[in-house]
Structure 1
Amino acid sequence: MKGQYKAVVIGGSAGSFSVVSRLLSKLDSNFPLPIILSLHRLKHVRSGLVEGISLKSNLKVIEPNDKEKIVAGNVYLAPSNYHMFIEHDGTFSLSTEEPLNHSRPSIDHTLSSAAFFFRAKLVGILLTGANKDGAKGMKDIADKKGYTIVQDPSTCDIDTMPKNALRIMKPNKVSSPDEILSFLNNLA
């Protein structure tokens, strides 16, 4: 499995901060892949989430700028009130287009664009959350032969997001946060 993947993309909403914090606190500081996070966040609060995640993370956490190149070993968090896309040249594109699924950033936009860029070299993970955002993005990752993991709904604070994904696609794994962490550590 080592060397098979080029990036990890993670989407989450309600309850996902604690899961993401735990994952990043337990990953090796030499984790070899970029991790791209699209988490629902309050649009009027510009800072705090990066700092909160950074305090727990063994990896550098960045809110990328428009046209910033994706670099292995960094964690990229979609900025507040911006959609975050991955472009065909491996850079980020930020947009203030209308919210999708009542959200900006939209998890679907990030996951789908990552699927089209990384294709079979992508690991997509969908965590706990309260709406259907992320389901289409996970299906796009699966359709492009990426590896898909959906958090086990029984381990979620709010299971709506994983259940919506499970309705439209069959992931490679349905896993608890600890199982997700074990999978990621095996990539290192």
Structure 2
Amino acid sequence: MGRFNVNNQYKAIVIGGSAGSFQGITRILSSIPEDFTLPIIMCLHRLKHVRNGFVEALSIKSINAVKEPYDKEPVKKKNVYLAPANYHLSVELGHTFSLSTEEMVNNSRPSIDITLETAAYVYRNKLIGILLSGANRDGAMGMKRIKDRGGLTIVQDPAECMIETMPAAALKLTEIDYTLKVDEIISFLLELDKCYKS
């Protein structure tokens, strides 16, 4: 038995992060196997006017290709997705992505809350939400929505974060299942993946 209460009921993982999260996300992406079972949907705050370089920087570190989904693209297993710069990324009921340029939420587009909340609505108790380092409260409400709908919630340990505001806000708003350092998040994901392959 591992240290985490994992099972193979889950259908997707969403990860949010902002300032200080790049190092953590690249460590995660470089540690999970190429055939990692579940789709990973990432919403990371980035400079809206810098369209190139960010995906490439993540892909260099990642074992799996990182792709920005197009509007109405289906969510598929064994894929790593990243919200495009200056677009909100939602998950729709048919397990497809939706892109929009609606008003900023929490001064952000893409908004982590939008990605997490729409994914929670679609996947309900079959979703895992992970929130990393960040400088604002974006993502806190999204984590609450995941928890309210029966999903599993993880935040990066604020003591390890470069900027703790984002995970600390989530911890204040809802009862988070696990508060973990990045290495522990990696262990969780590897343990989870084994459930699907055993």
**Structure 2 residue aligned with 1:154:** 159
Taking the aligned partners of 1:96 and 1:63, their CA distance within structure 2 comes to 15
Distance in 1 separating the partners of 2:51 and 2:70: 14
CA positional deviation for 1:30: 1.0
- The amino acid of 2:143's aligned partner reads M
1:118 aligned residue = 123
How many correspondences in the alignment? 188
Residue in structure 1 matched with residue 37 of structure 2 by the alignment: 32
Instruction: State the shift of 1:14 in Å.
Output: 0.3
2:122 match: secondary structure: helix
Q: Distance in 1 between matches of 2:8 and 2:124?
A: 14
What is the CA distance between 1:2 and its match in structure 2?
Answer: 3.9
CA distance in 2, matches of 1:94, 1:111: 14
Deviations 1:41-74 (A, max 9, x none): 0000011111000001111210000000001111
Tell me how far 1:187 sits from its aligned partner.
Answer: 1.3
Question: Given the alignment, which residue of 96, 101, 111 partners 2:101?
Answer: 96
Quote the residue 2:82 is aligned against.
77
Identity %: 58
Q: Counterpart of 1:176 in structure 2: which amino acid?
A: K
Find the counterpart in structure 1 of residue 171 from structure 2.
Answer: 166
Gaps of 5+ in 1: none
TM-score (norm 2): 0.94
Please list every run of 5 or more consecutive structure 2 residues that lacks an aligned counterpart in the other structure: 1-5, 194-198
The one-letter amino acid paired with 2:65 is K
d(CA) in 1 for partners of 2:75 and 2:173? 29
CA drift at 1:28: 0.8
Match of 2:17 in 1: 12
Letter in 2 for 1:59: N
1:114-172 CA-partner distances (Å, limit 9, x unpaired): 00001111110000000000000000000011000011100000000011111110111
TM-score (norm 1): 0.99
Tell me how large the CA RMSD over aligned residues is.
0.6
Match of 2:141 in 1: 136
Deviation at 1:173, TM superposition (A): 0.4
CA distance in 2, matches of 1:47, 1:186: 33
Residue aligning to 2:196: none
- Distance in 2 (CA, whole Å) between partners of 1:131 and 1:21 is 21
2:24 partner letter: V
Given candidates 166, 180, 192, the residue that maps to 1:187 is: 192
Q: Read off the aligned partner of 1:38 and give its amino acid letter.
A: C
Q: Which runs of 4+ in 1 moved over 6 A?
A: none
